[in-house]
Amino acid sequence: MFTPRTKLMMVFFLLLDLLLGIWIGITIKTFQMENSVDTQHAVRVIRITIDPAEREALFAQLQTFADKWRYAIRIAPLDPKGESFSIQMWRSDMKFSGLYPNDPGTLDIGFFYTDPARPVPERYFDEEISDLKNFISQIPGATLTVH
């Protein structure tokens, strides 16, 4: 009824359709997975207000805090003039990320779970923020508020 060539073509296109269907299925699934990526809201947000002249003292205190609590810390300039900085601290259970200055003379820091699927107790954040407050209080005129 069908010539071998026609049969071959039919098999070829059937396989092609099958592969196309699999590809579309995987693609849609991928889109669904990507759409499930969520925003991470900070567990705690703090605002440190300092005299801009005390910036280096602030960074030094953050470094000391990071050393004490075993954080890897990164303070990196965010502009060619070196006037604004990205500040990040990272540990296996908690991480901080902030921007100085967000508004003039202010450092806003968000505190996050490193792995939201394995959250640590929120009191850990409070304890460390309380200790950070002690470090910051050593800078003249600096304040730390939790939002």
Partner 1 sequence: MSLRTQTIVYAGVTGTTTSYPAGGAMRGSGILYFMLKDHLGSTSIQTDSIGNVVGDQRYYPFGETRILTGSMYTNRLFTGQREMTGSGIYYYGARFYSPKLGRFLSADTIVPSYADPQALNRYSYVLNNPLRYTDPTGHKPCGDGEDTDCDGHKQDPNQNPHPHNPPDPQKNQNNNKNNGCGQQGNYSPKCPGWHFYTSTYLVCPAELHCTIEEMIDYLSRFAFPGQYPSNPVRNTDINPVGLGPLSLGPIELGPYSMGPLGEIQTFISNGGLTVKNVTQPGHIFYDGIIIRTVYKDENGDWYVSTYGYGNNVNPGMDTANQVFGPGIFHAANQRMESVIEAHH
Residues that bind partner 1 (CB under 8 A): 31, 34-35, 37-42, 45, 56, 59, 63, 70-80, 82, 85-86, 90-92, 97-99, 102-103, 108-110, 112, 147
CB under 8 Å to 114, separation ≥6 — which residues? Answer: 90, 91, 92, 93, 94, 95
* Least Cβ distance, residue 11 to partner 1 (angstroms): 29
Taking the least distance from each CB to partner 1, the nearer of 95 and 136 is 95
Cα 99 from chain centroid? 12
> Is-contact 45 108, C-beta < 8 A?
yes
Q: Which residues contact 84 (CB under 8 A, 6 or more apart)?
A: 77, 78, 99, 100, 101
Least distance CB 12 / partner 1 (angstroms)? 26
Minimal distance in Å, beta carbon 109 to partner 1?
7
CB closer to partner 1 out of 87 and 142: 87
Nearer to partner 1, 59 or 124 (CB): 59
Nearer to partner 1 among residue 75 and residue 120 (C-beta)? 75
Nearest alpha carbon to residue 97 among 116, 115, 119, 114: 114
